[in-house]
A and B are shown apart, each in its own frame.
Chain A
Amino acid sequence: MNARGRQPGHGDKAVASTQARPLLVARGLAKQFGGLQAVADLDLDVHEGEILGVIGPNGAGKSTTFNMIAGALEPTQGTLVFDGEDLTGLPAHAMAGRGIMRTFQHNKPFASMTVRENVMVGMHRRLKGSLWRVLLAGAGVVRAEREAVRRADELVSFVGLGDWHDADVDTLSFGQGRLLEIARALAAEPRLILFDEPAAGLTPAECERLTDIIRQIARQGIAVLLIEHDMRFLMGLADRVVVLNFGRKIAQGTPAEIRADPAVVEAYLGNVGAMADA
């Protein structure tokens, strides 16, 4: 673990940021599907520039939590406050409109578009405006569009797809598709990015690159919430970790605290190997 090397001072910053007001505050979040309580009474804080990892065995409620914050599912109970504004129950596009962006575990590129155009769709919340101004092709609209192309190319290069701006998305590998997901989310100039199992399906080299990118994103002051199966990947990356089991939070703390927590070890009993590995 230590061999992966945390950035010097990185941990200090996380401590400092926990003292400031959290960007996202979830209180008493709950989701019920018929008789199934998928998530119950969950409190969650995410701070700017912080990487918060959420782990838990299958069926622990990770994805449900993720989808409630992303606006894909409406909470049965509880509140979601983002930057002081109550966003509970808003649809996905409204969440994105406020700077909460997400990636998909199974890449969801816009298949008919090039890499650059995909990233430009991510800029929707900043570019959208009056259709009349689009029709009149005013100088402002033309300039904004040119700037958008430049910024998109910059982001494509940032995630490491530098030579692929004009490529059709179906020519990308799975790992490259994941990088495109990230570039597209960054294009919105998000304040919080939700990653849904970003390491799933990636080669070790790609995971390494992903870790690097996510660290750089957090260093820009963007809050990062990661849902992950891959303990090794998550433990090496997160500033804080929240552990869910049967829809409830059973532990939270730094990766070191989590590894030592008996409740977590208990929850992962069938998975001791994974814990030891991480």
Chain B
Amino acid sequence: MIRYESQKVARWYLELSLLLFSLQVLIGLWLAINYAFTLPQGLIDVFSFATARAIHTNTLVAWMLLGFMGGAYFILPLECKRELFSVKIAYLQLFVFAGTAVAAVIGFLFGWTQGKPLLEIPVPLDLLIVVAALLFVFNVAMTIFKATERSLIQWMLLAGVTFLSLLYLFGIPFFSDLNADYYYWWWVIHLWVEGAWELITAAIVAFIIIEVTGVERKVVEKWLYVETGLFLFTGLVGTGHHYYWIGAPDYWLWWGGIFSALEPLPVALMVVDTWLHIKARKHPIVNPLLWTYIMGLALFHFLGAGVFGFIHTLPAVNYYTHGSQITVSHGHLAFFGAYALLNLVVFYFAMPQLKGIEKFDDRLGVWGFWTMVIAMVFMGLTFGVAGVLQTYLERILDIGYSTTHMAMMFWFKVVLFFGVIFLCGTLLTVYHLFTLKKVSEG
């Protein structure tokens, strides 16, 4: 029951995204094994932790970007009330992006890397990513310009994807001084997740809320303005919370500390407005699982990004927790809470429509949701325990590296346990989305 033929292109993006999601989680388990056990030299010589980590984080970025792009292509025709500007460009872009991602992963296995964490993709492949991004931004922009009606959601989406693409450029050049290198590295990493990606999230969520609740557009748009305004207000200067220990002026402690302490505010507003809109809904609940995901996104976004970020954002705390497993705890909870769940909202919104299903059988999906959410909460907390232990032993009691990290190994076995459960939840969810069926009558 898609309303526009060109929406179909989204299905390829979403399905590829789901496959990469599974791969990402699988590699994550391998990373936990590296921490939990002592692996033989011969094994790590051919497949090191560094290579596995590069694959884990790059597949994360790739599946999320594919989800955003697919999601944008699915909702744009609806929002613009017309077909996409060009389906051919959309397929070409998918081909370039996916091809580059595959080449990058294979390259990592053979040591072809730019050697910057999270941005390991080598420069020639970076340029192909830029080509894909340009095709995408062009296609989105042209679809919007050709629309007869203008809306805030269109602009917010366009601003988000343009901002996202521009920021990627700051990760490409070689810097000879390490602190400037990391200064601009954060323009990609931080300004993505606490800037551009938030714009896209807010726009997509606003659109889906209007669609499924039937709440008046004017009301949703008002919230959208306020939330994105606060996201950018706190998030832009909030980048400073990464500049405390890189060799930068003192004022970053103040600017970074204060602004990033305010960062949970817009996320909290998102919880409130999602709740209000759901309460004021005009349409009946057709697929309860989609609603569970929407509410889950709002709450987990707040917990993982907002609360767990706030806990260690102030300089006095961050001095001890920076670069420890506390960061890992926050990273996992925030990415899952904000962006994995957002993508899953998009999948559960778009996939049934792409398959012509109005009301789907959601039993497996419900299991998938709760398994993932519960496993991730415990995994995040276990990383947190390992992080507190690390911080306390190594940085407060001043106990040596070996003693500290051997004490942490037990907790990585626990992480591995919850990781396996999380993988089960992921596979259930992916399988469910691939095999969505109409709910049987009666």
Partners in one complex: no
